[in-house]
Amino acid sequence: MQGLAAAERDSTTTPSLRRRLWLWRRGFLSQSDAVYDLEESTYESYVSDYQRYVRTKRINGTWSVALSNKLLFHRVLQPFDERRMTVYGMLRDGTYHSVDSRTPHREVTDGGAASAPAEGRHEPASETANAAQRVVSRLEDEGRLVLKWAHGGGGNNVFLCTDTDDGYRVNDDHYTGAEFRSLVAGLEEYLVCAFVEQGSFATARYPETPNTLRIITMYDDVENEPFIAAAIHRIGTTESAPLDNFTQGGLSASIDLETGELGPGAQPSTDGRVEWHTTHPDTGTPVDGELIPGWERIRAQLLEMADACSFVPYIGWDVIVTGSDGEFRVIEANSYPGLKSIQVHGPLLADERVRRFYERTGVC
C-alpha cells in the first residue's frame, strides 16, 4: 500500500477529485486513467494497480527471491548459459568478488558466427579491497560495462558505463577518473556485468539505448505447462535515454504472440496521455508491422526456460535480441512486473487463460 500511495503522490496526472475517488475505489491510480480505457463497463478487465502492487507480489511466494536477487537468478539460469549475460563480479563491503570472470561467453552475432571471448584480464576468484580499480581495469578492457544493483527492478539503480578518451561516461554524465572511482567505491551489492550488444534490428529502431523485449510468462498448473501471457518491445527515445523505460518516455509496441509482428508504439506524453507512433518519433524507423527476427525460436526457448523455473510461476523476462535468427540474452527477470506498458495495448484479463491464472493465484 505504501508503494501505491507513493505512486499516486508522484503522479503528474491530475483528474478531478470525483474521478480520483472513482479510480481509487476500484484500485487504480490517477496515472492509469490516462493509459487505460477505464469505464464502469471496462475496468474489471484490467489488472488494477492495487492488484499489481499488492497481490501479484504474493504469487511467487518465498521463491520471488529467485528473481529479485539478480545474482541468485543468474545462478538459476546456469543450465541456459548461452542465454545469460556475463556477470564479472559483485561489489560488497568495499570489496570486489569475482562471479564468472574466468569463463567469458562466446556471443553469436548477426552474421551467425560465434565470436571469440573479448581479450581481457584474467581475474582471480579471491576478493580484493581495491574494488574501484578492478572495475576500472575491466571497463578499460571491455570499453563498456553495466553496474546494476543486485536487488529490485524497474530500471532504477542501473549505470551504463563507457570508457572515453577523457574519462568515463556513466549514463549521460561525464566522470573524471577520480569521480568514477568514487562512484564505484560507494556502490553496495552491485553486479559488474558485461554490456550486451543488441542486434541490428533493435539498433535500427533506436541506437542510443538497449531496446528490450518484456515477456510475461505464467505457469498453468492445470495443463502443467508455461505460457506467454503478453509480450512487448520496449524502444528507447530521447526522453527515456539511456534506458528504454515506458514510464520515462520510451515506446511500448505490442508483439503478436504467434507471428512476432509489432504493433504501433505507445508513448506517455508530458500530460500523462498516450501518443501512438507507427514510426519511431526520433529516428523515423518503422515500428508498426515490423517482425521480431527469430521470434519463434525466442518464444520456444523462453518457454523452455520458464518450464525449468516452474517453481516460480510468474515471471517478467527482459530480453535483448542479439542476432537475426532468434539469438538473445536475458538481462533481468521480475517477480511482479509493471503492467502499464503491457495493458496500454489492452486489458490482460480479457484473455481467459490469463484471468484463470490470476484467479487461481488470488490476484482477482
Strands, E assignment, 165-309: 167-170, 173-175, 190-194, 213-220, 225-235, 251-255, 262-268, 274-277
State the cell numbers at 128: 580484493
Question: What's the average model confidence in pLDDT over 246-270?
Answer: 95
Q: Which residues contact residue 22 at a Cβ distance below 8 angstroms, ignoring those fewer than 6 apart?
A: none
Q: What is the pLDDT of residues 295-325, one digit of tens each?
A: 999 999 999 999 999 999 999 999 999 999 9
Q: Which of 96-110, 209-223, 284-298, 314-328 has the lowest mean pLDDT?
A: 96-110
Alpha-carbon dihedral angle through residues 182, 188, 192, 197, given to the nearest 10 degrees: -90
Q: What is the pLDDT of residues 348-364, one digit of tens each?
A: 999 999 999 999 999 99
Which pLDDT score is estimated for 29?
Answer: 94
Which pLDDT score is estimated for 253?
Answer: 98
Task: For residue 101, give the DSSP letter.
Answer: T
Question: What's the average model confidence in pLDDT over 86-98?
Answer: 93
Which pLDDT score is estimated for 102?
Answer: 52
pLDDT level of residue 342 (50, 70, 90 thresholds): very high
Closest CA to 321 of 299, 343, 353: 299
Q: What is the pLDDT of residues 144-182, one digit of tens each?
A: 999 999 997 655 689 999 999 999 999 989 999 999 999
Which backbone phi and psi does 189 adopt, to 5 degrees?
Answer: 60, 55
Which pLDDT score is estimated for 266?
Answer: 98
Closest CA to 26 of 11, 6, 48, 42: 48
Question: What are the b/e assignments for 260-273, b being 16+ CB within 10 Å?
Answer: bbbbbbbbbeeebe
For the chain, domains (ranges, CATH) are 2-58 (no CATH), 61-67+201-335 (3.30.470), 86-195 (no CATH)
Which pLDDT score is estimated for 14?
Answer: 75
Percent of the chain with pLDDT strictly greater than 90: 81
Against a cut of 0.85, is the pTM above it? yes
As a whole number of angstroms, the distance between CA 115 and CA 156 comes to: 31
Which pLDDT score is estimated for 214?
Answer: 98
Torsion 232-233-238-240 (CA) sign: positive
Measured in whole angstroms, how far is the alpha carbon of residue 109 from the centre of its chain? Answer: 21
pLDDT level of residue 107 (50, 70, 90 thresholds): very low
Question: What's the average model confidence in pLDDT over 85-103?
Answer: 86
Which pLDDT score is estimated for 117?
Answer: 45
As a whole number of angstroms, the distance between CA 151 and CA 71 comes to: 9
Measured in whole angstroms, how far is the alpha carbon of residue 256 from the centre of its chain? Answer: 19
pLDDT level of residue 2 (50, 70, 90 thresholds): low
- Give the strand pairing for 190-194 and 173-175: unpaired
Helix axes 131-142, 177-185, angle to 10 degrees: 120
| Statement: residue 105 has pLDDT above 70 | no
pLDDT level of residue 269 (50, 70, 90 thresholds): confident
| Statement: residue 212 has pLDDT above 60 | yes
| Number of CB atoms found within 10 A of residue 172's CB | 9
